[in-house]
Amino acid sequence: MFGYYLELGLRSLRRNPVLTALMVIGIATGIAASMTTLTVMYLLGNDPIPWKSSKLHYVQMDNWDVNNPYGSDGKPPDQVTYEDAQALMQAAKADKQAAMFKISLPIQPENKELKPFQSLGRATYSDFFGMFEPPFRYGSPWNHDQDKEHARVIVLGKDLNEKLFGGQDSTGKTLRINGTDYSIVGVLDDWKLRTRYYDLTNGAFSDPDEFFFPYTTAIDLKQRSSGNNSCFKTPGDGWDAYLQSDCVWQQMWVQLDSPARLAEYQSFLDNYVNEQKKLGRFARPLNNHLLNVTQWMKDQKVVSRDVEVQTGLGFAFLIVCLVNTIGLLLAKFTRKSGEIGLRRALGASKRDVFTQFLIESGVVGLSGGLLGLILTGFGLLAVRALYEEYKTVAQLDWSMIAVTIVLAVVSALLAGLYPTWRACSVQPAAQLKV
Amino acid sequence: MEIRPIMSALMRSKVSMILIGLQVALTLAIVCNALFIIVERAHLMNRPSGMNESDTFVFGSNGFSEGFEPYSVMQSDLALLRGLPGVVDATTTNSTPLSGGGWSTGISLAPKQKTPTADTTLYFVDAHGVNTFDTHLIAGRNFKPEEITQMDQGLRIQPSVVIVTKALADKLFPDGNAIGKSIYMDEDPPTSTIVGIIDKLQEPWVSSKDIENTLLVPGYIPYGKFTRYLVRTEPGRRDELMKEAEQKVGAANTGRIVGKMRSMEQLRHEAYANDRAMMIILSVVIFCLLTITALGIVGMASFWVAQRTKQIGTRRALGASRGAILRYFLTENFLITTGGLILGGVLTYGLSLWLLANTDGAHLLPWYYVPMGFLCLWVLGQIAVLGPATRASRVAPAVATRSV
């Protein structure tokens, strides 16, 4: 029977090609608008490290000015001071911990064919690699001892290794950066991060870090962060004064493997701040945050308001398209009252008629969905062209393709339901009179 | 006139009527709010930065070689840049408008003041700064060459003289006459004296709420061994001079990296890229929405015309003119659209209030968007229904006499 109804449906759709095209295009554009925006929103906010995002926590402490909160919403600063990062690193109360900051340095390649160039990297601790789990191509991270020894060691990103060493195993070689020689201990493989979630302060969609080296080494060499630095009062003169100041310029992450560990750490942190209060720091009320990865991304509005508004409008547009389709299907099915009456009089049950017309609307939905999928591809292409920084998130993704098809068919069936119900409640007798 | 019969006909196809009305309502709500967002973004993007954007470019230089002396290299770089034929002026600066990164600080009028009087950005420039930015002194004087000091990143910023924008001067001294007044850039003395006021120069952050507050500090402040240069050329010569400057500055000292030359127009393009994208996306949504709604009206009206062919024929046979039939369908559409628009007006403000509550810096939709939207959708509806209505008016009276 299904085949027969399908044939009937297709024939009926062919009879009014303009109307059919109108319905299909309507659904397709509605689907494309909503799915393009939804894909961007979904991938922007997608958990970048689902297997452990609830264990990684971002540390925030409110060391800010007693008279003026850091943010108008009363939230603590989004970064920490050198002193506090050091205190937490030395206490080492978490399962893993890494303070870090962004750094921009000139690379001086040994290969004289390459001109020196500026490169963005990160000063951090060896736990960084255990916490965020970047894949290694060659070698391995440096170790805790090298952290303590301020070792001149470095881990290269895949692209930088490609550029400097043609992608060869460069571990054991040295690299000169800003006049200092570093020994290469590891090279990362492709590390595709849609959002650079471990440093949202300095741009969630910035280019990936090209190298990593010990934080202690960077401090040793007095290398300032090239990222955001916020002070509520002038730090005083010189490097040492800067390190002791209340300026925030570092990110501090801790890994806490269980809720109990989280609670322990929270109380450790509260104790730490209370102790500091006795020393005259942290004049504001206790306000320590330990947000996990997804909470932190939400807090920092990785999914921008614009993207949310666009998604909302995309779905409102889909509703308009569906209302449009309901109207057109209703018009179409009502015109076929005569045919329905005839079929009912010849013995077709309401159920048969219902199935037949639902299949017809299903066909419309499926074609709309397929066309919509193609249009979504173009839509994402357009988003990539419009938003340079979203190039990693405006991609068709398998789960989103499935959602698109399901959404299209469900929408079309929903849209077809009422007209179909109306069609099968036709009284055969009323239609057969001339 | 014919409203009663139209209404009674409509009541017989309530659902279709409601569907079209609903579509019109949603369309109105979305179009009005989307259009308002577009207009607001356009307004943001059209704010002048206060500097000459068309003839100016910026680039950085970062030394790495042993014994690299940022200060002396900076002096010879500036001499080289200013000597290039076609260059009007050049200065060092830590940042520029539209660049998205810079130095911001609070300005107080008393020592150890609890809350600063104003927040501002700092541009560290030399005596050529005002001229290179091509902003205009409206009071006081420019920096003198002897006032330019060499500063260090780690030292307190306490210049003896400063230049401020008019907006900042008005914020600090609402009674006017900011020239000669002292301000605190640190919590302790010494103070800085305002010697000049420029008409306008924006902060580097386009979304800053204090975007017009800018303060010029007479000084050179290298970031490690990094120096940023701003160069203004004669009109039309920017692009050739960008290439020339890159090549000559690079050749003058090879112990450093000369960063990418970027025109201010490029910086503006990037600074507002998200706003531009939002505008384009919303325009596409508006266009698609109006098209779909119009096509929906055409489809529905065509169906009604086909359904009522017999009645139309009867009316024509009973003496109704073609014009009367045309008017019938136009009026019918007008009634449905109006109903939808009334609902749409409510939806429009509902959406606007929701956006207001959930978006930073959003404003309530100005009232005139709604009547404008009404007018647009009335016209759209009438145009959409014109085709089917004309077809209806051509139905021959004889149709009434035929049985199906």
Task: Tell me: pLDDT of A392 over 80.
Answer: no
Instruction: Determine the distance in angstroms separating the CA of B350 from the nearest CA of chain A, rounded to an integer.
Output: 14
| pLDDT tens per residue across span B69-99 | 888 999 999 999 999 999 999 999 999 999 9
Check CB contact under 8 Å for B288 and A317.
yes
Task: Check if the beta carbon of residue A189 is closer than 8 Å to that of residue A136.
Answer: yes
Residue A143 amino acid letter: N
- Residues in A closer than 8 angstroms to B277, CB to CB, are 383, 386-387
Residue that has been written with the tokens 């605190």 in this structure: B184
Provide the pLDDT for residue A433: 61
In angstroms and rounded to an integer, the radius of gyration of the C-alpha atoms of chain A is 30
Residue B85 amino acid letter: P
First to last CA, chain A: 30
Least confident of A4-18, A32-46, A297-311, B298-312: A4-18
Q: Report the share of chain B in percent with pLDDT over 70.
A: 98
Residue of B19, B122, B186 to mutate, interface with A, max A Cβ within 10 Å: B19
> Among B104, B32, B238, which Cα is nearest to A313's?
B32
Distance CA B241, CA B260 (A): 13
Count CB neighbours of A253 within 10 A.
25
Among left, alpha and beta (phi > 0; psi -120 to 50; other), residue A2 is: alpha
Which ipTM did the prediction report? 0.84
Give backbone dihedrals phi and psi of B215, rounded to 5 degrees, phi first.
-130, 130
Check CB contact under 8 Å for A320 and B154.
no
| pLDDT tens per residue across span A130-148 | 999 999 999 999 999 999 9
Distance CA B143, CA B91 (A): 13
Provide the pLDDT for residue B1: 54
In the three-class reduction of DSSP (H, G, I as helix; E, B as strand; rest coil), residue B2 is classed as coil
Count CB neighbours of B14 within 10 A.
9
Residue of B41, B207, B210, B292 to mutate, interface with A, max A Cβ within 10 Å: B292
Check CB contact under 8 Å for B20 and A233.
no
Mean pLDDT of B21-37: 94
Provide the pLDDT for residue A11: 81
Residue of A117, A249, A320, A384 to mutate, interface with B, max B Cβ within 10 Å: A320
Band the pLDDT of B403: cuts 50, 70, 90: low
Task: Check if the beta carbon of residue B374 is closer than 8 Å to that of residue B290.
Answer: no
Provide the pLDDT for residue A388: 76
Distance CA B51, CA B269 (A): 15
- For B25, nearest residue in chain A (alpha carbons): A320
- Residues in A closer than 8 angstroms to B304, CB to CB, are 331
- Residues in B closer than 8 angstroms to A117, CB to CB, are 257
Instruction: Determine the distance in angstroms separating the CA of B138 from the nearest CA of chain A, rounded to an integer.
Output: 31
Provide the pLDDT for residue A63: 92
Q: Report the share of chain A in percent with pLDDT over 70.
A: 99
Hey, is the C-beta of B360 within 8 angstroms of any chain A C-beta?
yes
Of A26, A224, A323, the CB nearest to B224: A224
Residue B386 amino acid letter: L
> Among B78, B99, B98, B80, which Cα is nearest to B90's?
B78
DSSP letter, residue B184: B
Hey, is the C-beta of B156 within 8 angstroms of any chain A C-beta?
yes
> Among A45, A38, A48, A47, which Cα is nearest to A383's?
A38
- Residues in B closer than 8 angstroms to A235, CB to CB, are 154
Instruction: Determine the distance in angstroms separating the CA of B26 from the nearest CA of chain A, rounded to an integer.
Output: 7
Distance CA B58, CA B259 (A): 9
| Segment 53-112 of chain B within 8 Å of chain A by CB | 62-66
Of A320, A335, A422, the CB nearest to B27: A320
Alpha carbon of A61 to those of A4, A74, A89, A248, A271: distances in Å?
69, 12, 15, 10, 12
Task: Tell me: pLDDT of B53 over 90.
Answer: yes
CA B277, B278, B283, B288 dihedral sign is: positive
Task: Tell me: pLDDT of A430 over 80.
Answer: no
First to last CA, chain B: 31
DSSP letter, residue B134: T
Preceding amide of B366 cis, omega within 30? no
DSSP letter, residue B136: -
Residue B355 amino acid letter: L
Distance CA B62, CA B260 (A): 11
Q: Give the tokens for residue B365.
A: 């939709």
Of A108, A223, A327, the CB nearest to B19: A327
- Residues in A closer than 8 angstroms to B10, CB to CB, are none
- Residues in B closer than 8 angstroms to A304, CB to CB, are 274
In the three-class reduction of DSSP (H, G, I as helix; E, B as strand; rest coil), residue A107 is classed as strand
Hey, is the C-beta of B382 within 8 angstroms of any chain A C-beta?
no
Query: At CB < 8 A and 24+ separation, what contacts does B108-117 make?
Result: B108/B183, B108/B184, B108/B187, B109/B172, B109/B183, B109/B184, B110/B184, B111/B184, B111/B187, B111/B188, B111/B189, B112/B187, B112/B188, B113/B184, B113/B187, B114/A67, B114/A68, B115/A67, B115/A68, B117/B171, B117/B172
What are the DSSP E strand ranges found in B199-263?
214-220, 226-233, 256-258, 262-263
- Residues in B closer than 8 angstroms to A242, CB to CB, are 154
Hey, is the C-beta of B146 within 8 angstroms of any chain A C-beta?
no
Check CB contact under 8 Å for B259 and A235.
no
Band the pLDDT of A434: cuts 50, 70, 90: low
Average pLDDT for chain B: 90
Task: Tell me: pLDDT of A51 over 90.
Answer: yes
Task: Check if the beta carbon of residue B98 is closer than 8 Å to that of residue B268.
Answer: yes
| pLDDT tens per residue across span A253-264 | 999 999 999 999
Least confident of A186-200, A238-252, B11-25, B39-53: B11-25
Give backbone dihedrals phi and psi of B42, rounded to 5 degrees, phi first.
-60, -40
Of A309, A317, A330, the CB nearest to B15: A330
Mean pLDDT of B385-389: 92
Give backbone dihedrals phi and psi of B33, rounded to 5 degrees, phi first.
-70, -40
Residue A270 amino acid letter: D
Check CB contact under 8 Å for B30 and A320.
yes
Task: Check if the beta carbon of residue A387 is closer than 8 Å to that of residue B274.
Answer: yes
Q: Give the tokens for residue B240.
A: 């050739």
Band the pLDDT of B307: cuts 50, 70, 90: confident
> Among B59, B58, B78, B94, which Cα is nearest to B224's?
B94
DSSP letter, residue A355: H
Distance CA A241, CA A244 (A): 5
CB neighbours of B396 closer than 8 A, spacing ≥ 6? B313, B316
What are the DSSP E strand ranges found in A63-167?
96-108, 117-124, 136-139, 153-156
How much helix, strand and coil, in percent to the nearest 5, is found in chain A? 50, 15, 35
Using CB atoms within 10 A of its CB, is residue A244 exposed (0-12), middle (13-18) or buried (19+)? middle
Hey, is the C-beta of B274 within 8 angstroms of any chain A C-beta?
yes
CA A290, A294, A298, A304 dihedral sign is: positive
Task: Tell me: pLDDT of A412 over 80.
Answer: no
Distance CA A59, CA A264 (A): 14
Distance CA B107, CA B367 (A): 39
Residue that has been written with the tokens 């990037």 in this structure: B270
Check CB contact under 8 Å for B64 and A179.
yes
> In terms of pTM, does the model score above 0.80?
yes
Give the residues across from B184 on adjacent strands. Answer: B108
Provide the pLDDT for residue A431: 65
Of B63, B154, B256, the CB nearest to A237: B154
Provide the pLDDT for residue A370: 86
Distance CA B183, CA B158 (A): 10
Select the more confidently predicted residue: A298 or A417: A298
Band the pLDDT of B209: cuts 50, 70, 90: confident
Give backbone dihedrals phi and psi of B98, rounded to 5 degrees, phi first.
70, 0
In total, the C-beta contacts within 8 angstroms joining chain A to chain B are 140
Count CB neighbours of A115 within 10 A.
12
Distance CA B259, CA A198 (A): 27
Least confident of A362-366, A425-429, B120-124, B208-212: A425-429
Distance CA B124, CA B136 (A): 17
Residue B335 amino acid letter: L
In angstroms and rounded to an integer, the radius of gyration of the C-alpha atoms of chain B is 33
Q: Give the tokens for residue B262.
A: 């970027």
Q: What is the DSSP string of A28-42?
A: HHHHHHHHHHHHHHH
Angle at the Cα of B69 (from B226 to B186), degrees rounded to 5? 60
Mean pLDDT of A317-323: 90
Give backbone dihedrals phi and psi of B64, rounded to 5 degrees, phi first.
-135, -20
Least confident of A161-175, A382-396, B111-125, B241-255: A382-396
- For B357, nearest residue in chain A (alpha carbons): A305
Residue that has been written with the tokens 């010029």 in this structure: B216
| pLDDT tens per residue across span A63-93 | 998 888 888 788 899 999 999 999 999 999 9
